[in-house]
Copies of this chain bind each other. A is one copy, B any other.
Amino acid sequence: MIEIFTTGGTIDKVYFDALSEYQVGPSAVAAILRDNNVHAPHRVTQLMRKDSLELTDDDRAAICQAVAASEAARILVTHGTDTMVETARALAGIEGKTVVLTGALQPATLKHSDAEFNIGFALAAAQTLSPGVYVAMNGQVLDPSRTRKDREAGRFVAD
- Chain A residues bordering chain B, tally (CB within 8 A): 50
A109 at the interface (CB under 8 A from B): yes
Closest B residue by C-beta to A106: B15
Interface string of A9-36 (1 = CB under 8 A from B): 0100101011011100000000011011
Task: State A38–B155 Cα separation when bound (angstroms).
Answer: 9
* Selected contact of A138 from candidates B38, B109, B151, CB within 8 Å: B38
Q: Return A85 CB to nearest CB of chain B, in Å.
A: 15
Residues of A within 8 A of B (CB): 10, 13, 15, 17-18, 20-22, 32-33, 35-40, 51, 53, 81-82, 105-107, 109-112, 114, 116-125, 127-129, 136, 138-141, 151-152, 154-155
